[in-house]
């Protein structure tokens, strides 16, 4: 019976690995049909005979994003929502612009690993491992440098310089998702109880209420 148990164990491991990422394509391409009423994990395929070059094209990553905001950064994401030809291909791309002292705040991508290369400027980047270690891996990057952020881990990018910075990021999902930690915790709708947050962050309720107000001011 031992060989059968081993075979079943290996099959389970392989299956779990396959399920843990975007599904592999079973044809040359599967352009997303965003008008389909059918709900599936991803998008229904458009009839391949109706596909056009525009389904595989996105213009504009040469244009700087608007960094005139509280954090001083802007992410221009090209995922399946912007480029339907990415459907089932398990990849997306983003341009990130940073004003001087601009920050892409601590966040996670629940469905993707991110690999980043600096096109212009200097960045301080890092990620934190999961509990219980919570170890910080951080590095100062310059033009041409590359850094990778493992899937699901909290990470950030900060421009410490007095000049702008630009990076290009590849993500291992057609729809990587993003959870910005501060927005999710203090800007949840409806709000998380201030009693819960006060205990979790070891703060008084007045401080929690003030923090929540910062994220609700524009909602």
The domains of the chain, with CATH numbers, are: 21-177 (2.60.120.10), 180-218 (no CATH)
Would you state the pLDDT for residue 40?
83
For 152: left if phi > 0, alpha if psi spans -120 to 50, otherwise beta; the answer is left
pTM: 0.86
Asked whether the beta carbons of 51 and 31 are under 8 A apart, the reply is yes
Buried b (16+ CB within 10 A) or exposed e, 103-112: bbebbbbebb
Predicted confidence at residue 8, as pLDDT, reads: 42
pLDDT of residue 6: 43
In terms of C-beta density within 10 A (0-12 exposed, 13-18 middle, 19 or more buried), how is residue 69 classed? exposed
What pLDDT was estimated at residue 21?
59
pLDDT score at 10:
40
State both tokens at 32: 């997303």
Binding residues: 104, 107, 109, 114, 155
| Residue-level pLDDT at 51 | 95
Tens digit of pLDDT at every position of the chain (219 positions): 455 544 444 444 444 444 445 767 788 899 999 888 888 888 999 999 999 999 999 999 999 999 999 999 999 999 999 999 999 999 999 999 999 999 999 999 999 999 999 999 999 999 999 999 999 999 999 999 999 999 999 999 999 999 999 999 999 999 999 999 999 999 999 999 999 999 999 999 999 999 999 987 655
- 128, 26 in Cβ contact below 8 A? no
Site of tokens 């910080």: 136
Instruction: Specify whether the CB–CB gap between 29 and 51 falls below 8 A.
Output: yes
Q: What's the rounded Cα separation, in Å, for the pair 185 and 88? A: 31
Query: Largest Cα–Cα distance of the chain, in whole Å?
Result: 67
User: Within 10 Å of residue 118's Cβ, how many Cβ atoms?
Assistant: 21
Binding-site residue ranges for oxalate: 104, 109, 114
Q: Which residues are annotated as a binding site for Mn(2+)?
A: 107, 109, 114, 155
| Per-residue model confidence (pLDDT) at position 109 | 97
């Amino acid at each position: 019976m031992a060989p059968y148990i081993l075979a079943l164990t290996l099959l389970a491991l392989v299956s779990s690995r396959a399920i843990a990422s975007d599904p592999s394509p079973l044809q040359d391409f599967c352009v997303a049909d965003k008008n389909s009423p059918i709900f599936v994990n991803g998008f229904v395929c458009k009839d391949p005979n109706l596909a056009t070059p525009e389904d595989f094209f996105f213009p504009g990553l040469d244009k700087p994003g608007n960094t005139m905001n509280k954090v001083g950064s802007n992410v221009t994401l090209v995922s399946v929502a912007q480029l339907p030809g990415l459907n089932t291909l398990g990849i997306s791309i983003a341009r990130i612009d940073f004003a001087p002292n601009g920050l892409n705040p601590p966040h996670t991508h629940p469905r993707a690993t991110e690999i980043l290369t600096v096109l212009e400027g200097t960045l301080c980047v890092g990620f934190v491992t999961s509990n219980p270690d919570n170890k910080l891996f951080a590095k100062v990057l310059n033009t041409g440098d590359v850094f990778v952020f493992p899937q699901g881990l909290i990470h950030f990018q900060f421009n410490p310089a007095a000049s702008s910075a630009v990076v290009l990021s590849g993500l291992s999902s057609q729809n990587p998702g993003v959870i910005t930690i501060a927005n999710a915790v203090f800007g949840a709708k409806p709000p998380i109880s201030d009693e819960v947050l006060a205990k979790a962050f070891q703060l008084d309720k007045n401080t929690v209420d003030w923090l929540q107000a910062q994220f609700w001011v524009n909602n």
